[in-house]
Amino acid sequence: MSAVPDGKKLVRSPSGLRMVPENGAFNSPFSLDEPQWVPDKECPRCMQCDTKFDFIRRKHHCRRCGRCFCDKCCSKKVPLPRMCFVDPVRQCAECSLASQKEMEFYDKQLRVLLGGGTFVVTLGTSEKSETMTCRLSNNHRYMFLDGESHFEVELSRISSMQILTDGSSPGGGMSRASGMLLHYKPMGCQDGQQLRMEAADDKKAASLWLAAMHKAAKLLYEARDQ
């Protein structure tokens, strides 16, 4: 184990090298815990094709689900940023497909969220709205809203999120995201708070940000249900 700058450390697990926060409390809300591997003695056969293991047919554990497979059924090495692996790791076919789909979020949509979008924000039942720039924090834990005022929403404290649409789209395609309604519990408060965000002038950029946030919410809920 060795310390590196920016509050992260390099750790070695049975699955490979991982770059994780020094303090576990600062894990990304999208992150997944490493699974417990199915013990070798409990898997005499591949859990996919039922091939019996022997000296020639070795068993391999999927780094994402922890199940046991033969080399043919667990041959792909795919990036797994949700578990903070430094290098691509061995995964079964089902898990590698899920990880490959998530790479679009990390390669594209996460950048959109970090870049931010401009929205008209209404807090609670207030009649007053404010134009603010909304972006995801670098550690992915907070949504920052900046305008004449500033406040933050911790993603882990969001209880529900609804994407609002304008009901129409150029060319008659699917409706475009135009806003977001979310409920969350501010730190130290028992009562929930409502936040409404509607696209400001650059509606296309706002729509892309909202679509990325919708994907982020799916990962967030999946991580909670782990």
Q: Report the number of secondary-structure helices (H) and strands (E) in the chain.
A: 3, 14
Extract the tokens encoding 151.
């406040």
Measure the CA dihedral 211/214/216/221, to 10°.
-170
- DSSP codes of every residue in 67-108: -EEETGGG-EEE--GGGTBSS-EEE-HHHHHHHHHHHHIIII
Query: Which pair of structure tokens corresponds to residue 54?
Result: 């022997």
User: What is the pTM for the complete model shown?
Assistant: 0.79
For residue 137, what are its two tokens? 């924090």
Q: How far apart are CA 133 and CA 201, in angstroms?
A: 12
Residues 6 or more apart in contact with residue 195 via CB below 8 angstroms: 121, 122, 123, 124, 153, 180, 181, 182, 183, 184
Per-residue pLDDT of the chain (226 residues; tens, 9 = 90+): 434 445 888 989 888 899 888 876 678 888 899 999 999 999 999 999 999 999 889 999 999 999 999 999 999 999 999 999 999 999 999 999 999 999 989 999 999 999 999 999 998 878 889 999 999 999 899 999 999 999 899 998 898 999 998 765 445 556 788 999 999 988 877 788 999 999 998 888 999 999 999 999 888 888 776 5
